[in-house]
Amino acid sequence: MLNFQETIYSQFGNSPTIVQLITNMNTYLDPSANIDAFYDLVWNVDTAVGYGLDVWGRIVGVGRVLNLSTGVFFGFEGPVSASGDPWNQAVFYNGQSLTANYALTDAAYRPLILAKALFNICDCSIPSINQIMVNMFGPNGPLPVAGNCYCTDTGSMTMTYTFGSALDPVQSAIVFQSGVLPRPCGVFATVVQL
Is 64 inside any structural domain?
Answer: no
In a domain, 152, yes or no: yes
Given pLDDT bands bounded at 50, 70 and 90, which one contains residue 141? Answer: confident
Q: How far apart are the first and last CA of the chain?
A: 59
Contact 48, 113 (CB under 8 A): no
Residue 183 belongs to some domain of the structure: yes
* Number of separate domains in the chain: 1
Q: Is residue 81 part of a domain?
A: no
Q: What is the pLDDT of residue 94?
A: 60
Give tens-digit pLDDT for 87-124: 666 656 666 655 678 888 898 899 889 989 988 998 88
| Confidence label for 78 from pLDDT (cuts 50, 70 and 90) | very low
Q: Has residue 181 been placed in a domain?
A: yes
Checking if the pLDDT of 83 tops 60, the result is: no
Query: Which residue range forms the structural domain that includes residue 147?
Result: 124-193
Residue 163: inside a domain: yes
Q: Average of pLDDT values for 120-143?
A: 87
pLDDT of residue 69: 65
Give a yes or no: residue 114 inside a domain.
no
Q: Distance between CA atoms of 82 and 93, rounded to whole angstroms?
A: 10
Q: Is residue 177 part of a domain?
A: yes
Give the per-residue pLDDT at 80. 46
> What is the dihedral sign for C-alpha 63, 137, 72, 192?
positive
